[in-house]
């Protein structure tokens, strides 16, 4: 059994004040084998205007130091690239000098610039849901990444699942592309902290991925606070205990 969290935001992310040192201490206290720090690399113009960009040089050097200090905990240097399909050239140019060991791809904005990762007053429309999944299809088809982050995150603040039956063909296409490209599907357990109270994607979508032949996973809490980082296994299906580490640190469900 591998104890891990592959979605953690710390002091280098604009929306987290979590200290990396506190994360490391907690990971060690929880007997984690391996963790991935995945800072926000949000490069859309309005995001850069609002939050700036953190120093990849400082971040990279900091993680290298921590790796040397804590040889028994494997620490992965990663980023979550927001709306990668729209910022690809810029992101790749930045990462050329500071390569990352793990890249999460994420969709945070709809085409109409609705931020679907933050809480909203009313549910998004059917057209927006279709747009949301189409953007994922564009993301996974046009960008290289290790992990598709929080598929379905717009539901995170809902009370109950919306009807998504009309989006099923696009959802299937997304899952088929990630299977074909060897991109892991993230099981994001952050909605357990909210009213939605299940993982993103939900079990039905994870089952669909498995039915289509998908067996590569990641598990992450989308941690922005030390309390978000904990032992979450009891919240997830029992088979996650069978996941095995691949050579590139992803989690494989054996046949
Ligand atoms: Zn995100
Ligand atoms: Zn995140």
| Residues with Cβ within 8 Å of residue 226, at least 6 apart in sequence | 18, 22, 23, 26
Query: Quick check: 154 and 200 in contact, CB under 8 A?
Result: no
Average pLDDT over residues 8-34: 96
CA of 255 relative to ligand 1 center, distance in Å: 30
Token output for 134:
């189409």
Query: Quick check: 72 and 29 in contact, CB under 8 A?
Result: no
CA of 117 relative to ligand 2 center, distance in Å: 9
CA of 183 relative to ligand 2 center, distance in Å: 17
pLDDT of 127 over the 90 cut: yes
Pick from 217, 220, 240, 218: which is nearest to 230 by CA? 220
Output 233 or 100, whichever has higher pLDDT. Answer: 100
Q: Does domain 4-252 have CATH number 3.30.230.10?
A: no
Residues facing 216 on adjacent strands: 252
CA of 12 relative to ligand 2 center, distance in Å: 12
CA of 222 relative to ligand 2 center, distance in Å: 5
With tokens 């935001």, the residue in question is 9
Please state the pTM of the whole predicted model. 0.97
pLDDT of 147 over the 80 cut: yes
- The whole-angstrom separation of Cα 181 and Cα 92 is 18
- The torsion of the CA quartet 33, 61, 108, 119, rounded to 10 degrees, works out to 70
Average pLDDT score, the chain: 96
- CB neighbours (10 Å) of residue 74? 17
CA of 204 relative to ligand 2 center, distance in Å: 22
Please give the pLDDT value at position 119: 81
CA of 216 relative to ligand 1 center, distance in Å: 19
Boundaries of every domain in the chain: 4-252
Please give the pLDDT value at position 232: 85
Q: Which ligand is nearest to the CA of 223?
A: 2
Pick from 111, 80, 91: which is nearest to 14 by CA? 80
The two beta strands, 34-42 and 74-82, are parallel
Token output for 74:
């494997």
pLDDT digits (tens, 9 = 90+) for 49-91: 999 999 999 999 999 999 999 999 999 999 999 999 999 999 9
Average pLDDT over residues 127-139: 98
Share of the chain above pLDDT 90, in %: 92
| Residues with Cβ within 8 Å of residue 82, at least 6 apart in sequence | 40, 41, 42, 43, 44, 47, 106, 107, 108, 109
pLDDT digits (tens, 9 = 90+) for 190-201: 999 988 999 999
With tokens 């990630």, the residue in question is 178
Please give the pLDDT value at position 35: 97
pLDDT of 93 over the 80 cut: yes
Q: Residue 34 has what DSSP assignment?
A: E
Q: Which ligand is nearest to the CA of 153?
A: 1
SS3 of residue 187 by DSSP: strand
CA of 80 relative to ligand 2 center, distance in Å: 6
Q: Which ligand is nearest to the CA of 13?
A: 2
Q: What does 200-220 look like in DSSP terms, one character per residue?
A: BS-HHHHHHHHHTT--EEEEE
pLDDT of 217 over the 80 cut: yes
pLDDT of 121 over the 80 cut: no
């Amino acid at each position: 059994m591998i104890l891990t969290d592959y979605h953690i935001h710390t002091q280098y992310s604009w929306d987290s004040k979590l200290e990396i040192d506190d994360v490391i201490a907690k990971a060690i206290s929880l007997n984690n084998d391996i963790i991935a720090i995945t800072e926000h690399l949000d490069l859309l113009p309005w995001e850069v205007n609002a939050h700036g960009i953190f120093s990849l040089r400082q971040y990279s050097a900091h993680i290298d130091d921590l790796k040397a200090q804590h040889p028994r905990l494997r620490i992965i240097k990663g980023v979550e690239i927001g709306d990668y399909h729209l910022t690809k050239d810029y992101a790749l140019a930045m990462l050329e000098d500071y390569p990352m060991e793990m890249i999460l791809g994420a969709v945070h904005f709809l085409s109409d610039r609705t931020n679907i990762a933050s809480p909203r007053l009313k549910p998004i429309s059917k057209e927006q849901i279709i747009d949301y999944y189409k953007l994922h299809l564009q993301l996974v088809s046009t960008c290289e990444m290790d992990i598709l982050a929080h598929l379905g995150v717009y539901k995170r603040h809902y009370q109950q699942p919306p009807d998504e039956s009309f989006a099923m063909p696009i959802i299937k296409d997304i899952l088929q592309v990630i299977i074909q490209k060897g991109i892991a599907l993230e099981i994001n357990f952050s909605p357990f902290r909210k009213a939605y109270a299940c993982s993103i994607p939900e079990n039905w979508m994870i089952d669909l991925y498995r039915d289509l032949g998908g067996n590569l996973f990641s598990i992450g809490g989308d941690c922005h606070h030390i309390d978000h980082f904990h032992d979450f296994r009891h919240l997830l299906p029992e088979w996650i205990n069978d996941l095995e580490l691949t050579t590139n640190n992803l989690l494989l469900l054996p046949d």
